[in-house]
Amino acid sequence: MRQELLNRALVAYGRALAVADPIRLRFWDDRGLTMTQLRLMYLLLLDDQQTAGDLAEKMRVRKPTITGLTDRLVKQALIERYDDPADRRVVRVGLTGEGRRVLGEIAVASKAYLDEVFGRMGEDIVAELVRLLDEFADSADAVQQHAEDRP
């Protein structure tokens, strides 16, 4: 592939990321949250009551990194730590009601913003965008899988 086309693709990708969802960025700034902290919260939204080890593995970071992230989120009352009833040595992490509320607000505001953006684009263009983004995600998955298969 031509380098010029690759450069244009990188610029377009960066521009799309920067303008795609300013609502989330506003919420992050207002709450003093980082992208990594929100990623952890979204992982808990999908599968609550995880251990620090589980979260570290899913986020591909070390356990001390998770400890620092969870400490800050506990201080903001967005997550809580729980004793595991089956094994008191294990500590689980879960979203608080406030954490769920914040993620819900982000989801509602983001959806409204993106509905307006997609509405301006028109149905045919949105359908093509979906097809291209699916292809992009499949290619990215293949690259990641190839990287994980290397020794």
Domain residue ranges of the chain, discontinuous segments joined by +: 1-30+97-151, 33-95
Cα angle 114, 119, 122; round to 5 = 130
- pTM metric for this prediction: 0.75
Residue 29, CA atoms < 13 Å, CB-side half-sphere: 5
Collapse the DSSP code of 123 into the 3-class scheme (helix H, G, I; strand E, B; otherwise coil) and give the result. Answer: helix
At 2, phi and psi to the nearest 5?
A: -65, 140
Q: How far apart are CA 120 and CA 26, in angstroms?
A: 22
Q: How far apart are CA 1 and CA 85, in angstroms?
A: 55
DSSP 69-82: HHHHHHHTTSEEEE
pLDDT values of the chain reduced to their tens digit, one per residue, 151 residues: 789 999 999 999 888 887 776 777 777 777 788 888 999 999 999 998 899 899 999 998 999 999 999 999 999 999 999 888 888 888 899 999 999 999 998 888 888 888 999 999 999 999 999 999 999 999 999 998 888 887 7
Q: How far apart are CA 136 and CA 131, in angstroms?
A: 9
Q: Which CATH class is domain 33-95?
A: mainly alpha
